Structure 1
Amino acid sequence: MAGRYRLTSVETVESEGSWLFTARDQHGNDEEFFLVPCADEDRPPVEAWRNRCTHENQRLYREDVGAIVRDGGVVCPKHGSMFDSCSGYCDNGEAADTTLPGVEIDVDDGQVYLVDDDVTFLRAGPSRDDDDDGGPSSTSHLQL
């Protein structure tokens, strides 16, 4: 990716609690990432994390609820592990002692930009993959 790509505003992330986008990594894979507010005054007001728990292939951001954020942490909906919204680090549950992979963003004048040279922005929202748990999806069109 050359330069930077405007994703959304800090205000949108703060009002919605999280914001999802899809990008293509350097290997050609489409990956979901989500933005969450960060309350640490030494960091940007928003951080971006890969939309998968480090314990197993579980989405942290879901279209029906967004990312569950409590007490400054992103909660895994399957096992309850909590990842710090600002650092991505988890110190509890099944994912303890792991850190969410992130992508580099920049915040300028209230706008959030993707500036990571290893990914290319594709779209706001989820990937085209409707498979929620990483397992096989049904392609049957049988009608009874």
Structure 2
Amino acid sequence: MSGRYRLTSVETVRDEGSWLFRVRDAHGAREEVILVPCEESGVEAWRNRCTHENQRLHREGVGAAVRESGIVCPKHGSIFDTCSGACDNGEAADTTLPSVDVTVENGQVYLTDDDVDYLGTGGIDDDEEDGPSSSSHLQF
């Protein structure tokens, strides 16, 4: 699938608290991914869904609630470690967020996951790949 794609800078992720983008997996499904600050690696990338109830962790216009190195689920308050994705409390306890491979070089973040293709920044609702705006595809 995709090779290496520059996403953003570590500084941008730190300034904004989280950064959202879209990918397509090997089965053709579109998914949202969030970048969050991590002291160990600069940033980490996680699928944008709580493991408990498929709740988005990063919401457009709001971002992700990141507190003391944890991503807080807005629905039940479970907290996922920004560096490991692990949760040890609340409804999502004993689960880990699915990761997406990224690499940090010279302060820049690159998508390096061979199992996904980059589609764009923002959420799936912002994706313009949903087909034509007209219901008719006929041409005369």
Under TM normalisation by the shorter chain, which class is it? Answer: 0.7 to 0.9
The residue type paired with residue 45 of structure 1 is G
Note the alpha carbon deviations across 1:68-92, whole angstroms, 9 max, x for none.
Answer: 0001000000000000000000000
Shift of the alpha carbon at 1:26? 0.6
Pick from 99, 102, 105 the counterpart of residue 108 of structure 1.
Answer: 105
CA apart distance, 1:129: 7.3
* 1:68 match: secondary structure: strand
Which residue of structure 2 aligns with residue 15 of structure 1? Answer: 15
| 1:87 is the counterpart of 2:84 | yes
- In the alignment, the residues of structure 1 paired with residue 61 and residue 89 of structure 2 have an alpha-carbon distance, to the nearest angstrom, of 25
TM-score of the two chains, using structure 1 as the length reference: 0.85
CA RMSD of aligned residues (A): 1.3
2:118 is aligned to 121
Q: TM-score of the superposition, structure 2-length normalised?
A: 0.88
For residues 12 and 71 of structure 1, the distance between their equivalents in structure 2, rounded to whole angstroms, comes to: 18
Which blocks of at least 5 consecutive residues in structure 1 are unaligned?
131-144
Name the aligned partner's letter for residue 68 of structure 1. Answer: A
Q: Secondary structure at the match of 2:32?
A: strand
Moved over 6 A (4+): none
Any unmatched runs of 5+ in structure 2? Answer: 128-140
Question: Conserved in 1, the CA contact under 8 Å of 2:2 and 2:116?
Answer: no
- Whether 1:69 and 2:71 are equivalent positions in the alignment is no
> What residue identity is the alignment partner of 1:62?
R
Q: Secondary structure at the match of 1:94?
A: helix
Aligned to 2:12, what secondary structure does the other structure show?
helix
| Amino acid of the structure 1 residue aligned with 2:34 | F
Corresponding residue of 1:33: 33
Contact 2:20–2:122 (CA under 8 A) maintained in structure 1 = yes
Aligned-residue offset at 1:17? 0.6
Counterpart position of 2:6: 6
User: CA–CA distance in 2 between the matches of 1:129 and 1:59?
Assistant: 15
Shift in Å, 1:4: 0.3
Q: Find out whether 1:99 has 2:96 as its counterpart.
A: yes
